[in-house]
Amino acid sequence: MSWDFFVPVCVGDLVKTGGINQYVVQDVVPPKQLAPHLGKFKAALRSQGPTCILEHFDTGYSVLKQCNLVDVDVKEDTFELLVQVVSGLAASLPALLLSTSISAAERKEKLNAVKMSVYLLCKLTETFESDSNRQNFVTAPGKGGKKGKGGVEGLLQWDSERERVLQAFIQLLQLDIRSLWSLSLVEEEFTSCVTCCCYKLLENPTISHVKSKPTRDGIIHLLGVLIKKYNHLLGASVKVIQLLQHFEQLSSVFAQAVSVWSTEYGVRAIIGEVIREIGQRSSEELAREGSGVKAFSSFIAELGSLVPELMIPNISVLITHLEGESHTMRVAVCEVLGEILVRVLCGDKLDESGKADRDRFFDTLQEHLHDTHSHVRARVLQVYARIVNSKALPLCKYSEVMELAVGRLMDKSINAVKSAIQLLAAFIALNPYSCKLSSADLQKPLGKETAKLRGMKARLEGKAPVATIKASELWAAMEPELLVTVLAEMEPTGETKKVDEDRDVEEDQEAENDRATAVKVAQYLRVNKYRNAARLCIRAHSCFPQSKMFASLSTLTPETLMGTLALIFKGSDEDTAELSQNLPPTPQKDAEEEQGEDGELKKQEMLVQYLKDTETFALQVERAISVINTMLYWKTTSVVQEAVQFCVTVCEFSVANSVSGVRKMLPLVWSTDAAIKDAVVQAYRRLYLNPQGENIRVKAHTLVDSLSELMVDASLGTIQCLEEIVQEFFSSGSHLQSTVVQVLWERFTGKRETSGLHRRAAVLLLGMAARAEREVVLSNLDTLCSVALGEKVTEDFLLARDAVLTICSITDHVRQSKGAPFRLPQDHQLFTCLTQAIAEGVVMEDPYWQTFMQQAVRLVYFLAESPDQLCSRLLQRSARLLLDQIAEGAELNKDASQLQDGSQESNEQVNCVCLAQLLALCGCVAFWQVSHLERSVSAELRRRRGETEEREEKEKAPSSKAKQTASESAMEEELGLMGASAEDTEAELIRKICETELLAEENLLCAFLPLLVRVCSSPGRYSHPQLTTAACLALSQYMMISPSVCEENIRLMFTVLERSPLPVVRANAIIALGDLTVRFPNILEPWTQNLYARLSDEVPSVRQTAVTVLTQLVLKDVLKVKGQVSEVAVLLIDPECHITTLALNFFNELASKDNAIYNLLPDIISRLSDPERGMTSEDFNTIMKQLFSYITKERQTESLVEKLCQRFRTAKTERQWCDLATSLSLLSMCERGFKRLQECWECYSDKLTEPGVYQPLLAITAKLRRGAKAQFKAQVDEFEKLLTAVHTRGLENVESPEMDEENPKEGSSERTAMRTPLPTRGRARSKRGQAKASTACYANDSFVTPPKSRKPKQPLITFSSDEEEDEEDAVMAESETPKVTTPIARTSRRARLRN
């Protein structure tokens, strides 16, 4: 073979004249003649094998060249032949490559066959892929349309065919075909041909889908072979970056590819190349590449999750992006750091370098918890949550990160707040400290262990530190000096030696044996008495010649003497132990003891530090709880769900105050958001309704215990919410139901010893169960009566009250049913017990009797037959008992005259309490009697009427069909009128009973009304607080009976409201008057001002009650919203935060009504800026800032600007001018509002000399200038100049001729614009209702301050205990009573009865 095949750059290059020995296509076969040529190709493939491509290359090339003109069948056949050729080459080449005797011609032949077949198959694959993408794009299904057929026409299985191509290429290129090229240098064009085909396949939009996984894996492995064997490393890294810029969906594909190339193919350098390319891109480049940044960030994050250990060498390149502007890149880098910390730099086996990197990465993450972008902050919190969940956070970082997470709870971003809550929940669930976190419980053990540590340190400080020195080291130190002494001793004078010998006689006699002598020698050496030691050692040899210690001294020389001394001091191996017992203490003696004490000290320090860390952690958790509990009522559903889950987590770990959050989220069971309601129900089910235990009995006890703890000290609202949870539990058919009910009855009846609180909780839980299953209580009614309402009822009225509430639960089913009402006879045991308990309690002083009485009377009216008769006898009996008690007290006073003064006072107090309880009973009976008539009796009348009508309808003979059809409409109208007439008759009957019969002379209720009026109107005589409170409340309940009673006593009730010295009486009066306003609105309407006056009461509890009642009345449209709302606005700055919250809630709800606050604002401003009120400017600004936040519409703003400007004309004081100007500055003014401000120039221009007017208007121009267009900005600048000129020089000087001369350049038109006179357009027209043209500027304003109205004469009322005869003076005079000015339309009685 004399020619070589060179892979062309373009397809058309092969038909051009090539170089020497270069293959050129000789004949391009026309499309119509391709079929026979393909037949020859197939035959040659069968006979010659894959090398037939050398002869039939032109046929394949013709199909490729004319692909758009060739039939599909021809293209499919060509494709199939080329795949077979490549596969055949992959099968035949291994034997050839292993052969050592291959010729050059054969090698060239195989090389050309490989290049030709690979080239044709790659190009044809690219063509098919382009056609497939184009076809998918054309047939892409529209919204709601059917999915079109994908792939090339005729090649419907292109996905599987694509995989065959990739497998054929992989099989071929995995062989070492580089040896076919000279010097094994594969030409770049051949490699590019295959890689271009791979990258073309990657451009498919569906390549990242699950269904494309085989194709995706094939491409990745094929590119891996090319990178490893064919020098495609740099090309691949560049191509990855290029494709990521244009195809965002390839981020996960390339992350998987790079991880495979670096791990399975061992090409780790590819990560460095790609990361370096991304890291070198500047912030400006990333800002220009919109989708490219997203793709880069996704790629980095995914790659970090796949191979985090390989990212560490390149992390320094990525960290530079943390300072860039792209927040998505910052997120990606932080996620990579998180993966590294979780999977690589974790555990206790890190070296110093690893620990340093770990700490550095943690510091970087902590910095970005305060990132400027909320998305980054949220993702970093999520990264920390994963670190904590993986237990990869070092203990030393817990407190620091915990504090940062608590701080993020205040983040403005919802996602950041949610992530912070999740992180805190992970901290608590996986905390390394304790399963129960309570700072209060930790204080005692911490104090105890801290004191113990302090004592240990004090003991150690008392001991002098001793250096530990070995005997050998001491010998080495003393040896030189000792040697000098020994040498001197060996040559003494005769006299000295004799004197010394005489001196040591006693010492020689004291030594009993050689060992004692050795000890003495050692002691001399230790105290530096070297001479004595040497002499004693010499004499010891003569005294103990047989001793082994001194045997060496038989030949006395300095060397033998030094050796003997050394042996004695350091000790031989066998004598050291014995000598050490007799030697004085040495540093070695105390070493072990000191080490033991140091170890104990370190253990104690670690224990104290652990307790401190635990306490710090618990305090941080408690702080987080207080913040997250406030999020339970946010408007964002997802935040509320996270807060609920957090409350569950902290409750499971017994964190202090965790139950507060669980109770606070309980009202959310009434939420209209199904997701929130379900989250709360699931939370309570997890905490309380899924108990753990060995058997059903244990589980039931656990469940009852947990629910009982929740109900202890719970408010009424909490109990009502808990009913919903418990009712759902008993309705769910749980296998624990029967056992739980049994345990509750055991606790209530006292079969199991339990506290009074838990007995009450048990009976309340039984009532909740009865709402789901009525028979739970109804079948045990006798048990309830005997246990809670029996002989010992007076000992525990709270248990009796809760038992009554439980019995009331069965009446819910009665009221919901449409059948005859379920009632018990009057002589039933239940009513016998109730009436006896109520009557006996009247003459007792039990503080809980009244709550029991209210529920008992309610139950009587719900369940008893003829409850009015029963209650009448009850009142008679109670009054008789009270009279008997008074009579007995009078007799005792007569018998004990010597103690008359003291006993009289005591008896009077007792009588007042008992009288108060009797009056409270009267009021309660009156209230429930009215309720019984308007609800139960009215409902029963309707039911009986309905039954009668149905019975009459059935008794009527059926009329003819035609006649019935003809008169159908007339009959319906007649029946409708008849039904309405019947309802009105029933309502009139009820009204007549209330008006005439309830307070008739023969009715016992009537007997108490004069007493109530007298007690309320005579505060001097009846000054007992409990009596006054009960009388006022009972009188208000009597006033609910009929309009006549209400009108007769309304002045007295308002007198009590304004003049009573008791805050509880005033608060009760407000509530009662609110109810009366709903019932009799026309009677109460003239007294509205008096209700609003209580908003300024000096007692916070009264103000709180007043704002609560008025909020309900206003929002339910019972009271008209007028200028008195300014009194509610004042509460926005109330010193009590809960009152401020109520006022804020009032305006939030009022803002939902159309234009309500907008209509009220001018009057509110006028009232609050009134000099007589004396409000400071700071308080005024605070209130107005809140109120103006509700003005969001541009037209409202424009209208308010005009109205406030017109108010300048009627404002009389400088303070009012300043307040109006401040109000204008608080508006979110736009261009139209500014135009209106200019038009009203004459209203406020003469007030601009005041700084309080000038500065706010100047602030308006500053706000308008921000972001304004050039033309509008120029107008604002001119207006500002005019403001400044008038402020500094005065209005007259600015508008004088001298001012005009000073500004000769300004034209007349500009001067006219600056002076901004009122425009004539729309102003010259006369408006309806305007009499004078002079009032044209403000006659359109509905908020012009009205003229001063004559103030009503203040009633003169004095409370004095000295008044006996003229007690009625305490009531307002008739002339002081407000008159009805505006009748209020109210709904018909029939409609109210339906409700």
pLDDT per position as a tens digit, 1270-1319: 888 888 888 888 888 888 877 666 653 333 433 434 443 333 334 444 44
420 has a pLDDT exceeding 80: yes
Query: With pLDDT > 90 as the criterion, what percentage of the chain qualifies?
Result: 10
The pLDDT value given to residue 1005: 83
Task: Read off the pLDDT of residues 274-303 as tens digits, 9 standing for 90 and up.
Answer: 888 888 777 777 766 666 788 888 888 898
Q: Which residue has the higher pLDDT, 1330 or 946?
A: 946
**What size, in residues, is the chain?**
1395
Q: How many CA atoms lie within 13 A of 1108 on its CB side?
A: 14
CB 1090 within 8 Å of CB 1054: yes
Q: Which residue has the higher pLDDT, 741 or 1394?
A: 741
CB 769 within 8 Å of CB 812: no
Selection from 300, 222, 221 nearest residue 255 by Cα: 300
- Long-range contacts of 656-660, Cβ-Cβ distance < 8 Å, separation of 24 or more: 656/437, 656/438, 656/439, 656/440, 656/441, 656/618, 656/622, 657/622, 657/625, 657/626, 658/625, 659/709, 659/710, 660/625, 660/629
- 101: helix, strand or coil: coil
End-to-end CA distance of the chain: 106
The pLDDT value given to residue 1020: 84
- Residue 377, φ and ψ in degrees, nearest 5: -60, -45
| CA–CA dist 565, 74 (Å, integer) | 114
| CA–CA dist 507, 1052 (Å, integer) | 119
Task: Read off the pLDDT of residues 429-453 as tens digits, 9 standing for 90 and up.
Answer: 887 776 666 667 777 787 888 888 8
Sequence-ordered list of residues with C-beta below 8 angstroms from that of 999, at least 6 positions apart, any chain = 1005, 1006, 1009, 1038, 1041, 1042, 1045
Q: Which residue has the higher pLDDT, 722 or 149?
A: 722
- Residue 22, φ and ψ in degrees, nearest 5: -100, 135
Q: Which residue has the higher pLDDT, 492 or 859?
A: 859
Per-residue tokens: 460: 């150690």
Report which DSSP code applies to 1178: H
The pLDDT value given to residue 1317: 41
3-state percent breakdown (helix, strand, coil) of the chain, nearest 5:
75, 0, 25
Measured torsion, CA atoms of residues 833, 838, 839, 840, in degrees rounded to the nearest 10? 80
Q: How many CA atoms lie within 13 A of 883 on its CB side?
A: 6
Is residue 668 within a helix (H) or strand (E), and if so which, with residue range?
none
| CA–CA dist 219, 170 (Å, integer) | 9
| CA–CA dist 531, 520 (Å, integer) | 13
CB 796 within 8 Å of CB 756: yes
| CA–CA dist 1026, 916 (Å, integer) | 6
What radius of gyration, in Å, describes the C-alpha atoms of the chain?
Answer: 51
| CA–CA dist 736, 1348 (Å, integer) | 72
CB 628 within 8 Å of CB 646: yes
pTM of the complete model: 0.66
State the pLDDT confidence band at 1073, using cuts at 50, 70 and 90.
very high
Sequence-ordered list of residues with C-beta below 8 angstroms from that of 770, at least 6 positions apart, any chain = 776, 777, 778, 806, 809, 810
| CA–CA dist 347, 344 (Å, integer) | 9
CB 245 within 8 Å of CB 292: yes
Task: Read off the pLDDT of residues 46-98 as tens digits, 9 standing for 90 and up.
Answer: 888 888 888 878 888 888 888 878 888 888 888 888 888 888 888 888 877 77
Task: Read off the pLDDT of residues 588-643 as tens digits, 9 standing for 90 and up.
Answer: 445 555 566 677 788 888 888 888 888 888 888 888 888 988 888 888 899 999 99
CB 193 within 8 Å of CB 122: yes
The pLDDT value given to residue 377: 92
Report which DSSP code applies to 248: G
The pLDDT value given to residue 136: 61
